Amino acid sequence: MIGAFWNVRGLNKEGQLQCITDFVSDNKLDFVGFQETKKESFSYSFLNYIHKYFTWKALPTVGTAGGILVGVNTNKFEVLSWQIGSYSLAAMIKNDSDKFVWRLVVVYGSPYEEGKLEFLQELEGLLDNWEGPTVIGGDFNIVSNIKEKSNGNINQKWADFV
C-alpha cells in the first residue's frame, strides 16, 4: 500500500492538475490526501482525470484558505464510511485482499490563531472514537520545534500544547 499527503497550495493554478495526476500515476499511489486545495468543489471530469479508479471526497475551502481532497483506489479498497469535520476528512477503509479495516485521516489545521484550539479538539475527538489502526497525515499548521521553521519564529503556546 502506497499513499501520500501533499499541501498543494491551490489546485486552481495552471498546470497543477497535470502535476498531481502525474504524481499519483508515477508513484502508483493507492490513496492520496491533498491539503489547501483552495477549491469549493470538484467536477467529476477533474477527479476522473487524476485517477479513474479512485473514489473521492472533498472538504471545501473556507474563504481563501483550506480545503482537503482525499482519493482512495477502489480496485484495492472499499470505503465503508466518510467522516467530514471542519479541519479533517476521515475514511473507514476495508482492504479488498484481506478484509483488514483501518482508518485514513487527512487534516488541514487552521493557519489562524482563532482556529487552532478547535482543530486540536476535532483531532482529539477523531482519535477517541476509534481504537483500530489509523494513518493520519496532512498539514497541521502547528510547529512544535524551532528546527521546523526557516525563520526561527515559533508560537510557543502551540508548540508546548502539542
Task: State the pLDDT at residue 75.
Answer: 97
Domain that holds residue 12: 3-161
Cβ contacts of 133 within 8 Å, gap of 6 or more: 102, 103
The predicted-structure confidence for 61-78, as pLDDT tens digits, reads as follows 877 778 999 999 999 999
Q: Which residues of the chain have pLDDT under 70?
A: 144-162
Task: Give me the pLDDT at residue 56, please.
Answer: 98
Residue 139: per-residue pLDDT: 93
User: Tell me, what's the pLDDT at 143?
Assistant: 74
Positive or negative torsion for Cα 19, 54, 105, 76: negative
Nearby residues of 118 by Cβ (< 8 Å), 6 or more positions away: 86, 87, 110
| pLDDT at 47 (0 to 100) | 96
Instruction: Give the bridge partners for 55, in sequence order.
Output: 72
* Structure confidence at residue 65 (pLDDT): 78
Q: What is the mean pLDDT of the chain?
A: 89
Query: Residue 96 belongs to a domain with what CATH number?
Result: 3.60.10.10
Number of structural domains the chain divides into: 1
The predicted pLDDT at position 63 comes to 74
| CA–CA separation, 153 and 5 (whole Å) | 25
Q: How far, CA to CA in Å, does 155 sit from each of 61, 63, 66, 97, 151?
A: 24, 23, 20, 45, 12
Q: Provide the β-strand partners of residue 23.
A: none
Smallest CA-to-CA distance from 132 within 85, 95, 87, 84 is with 95
- Determine what percent of the chain is predicted with pLDDT higher than 90: 72
73: helix, strand or coil: strand
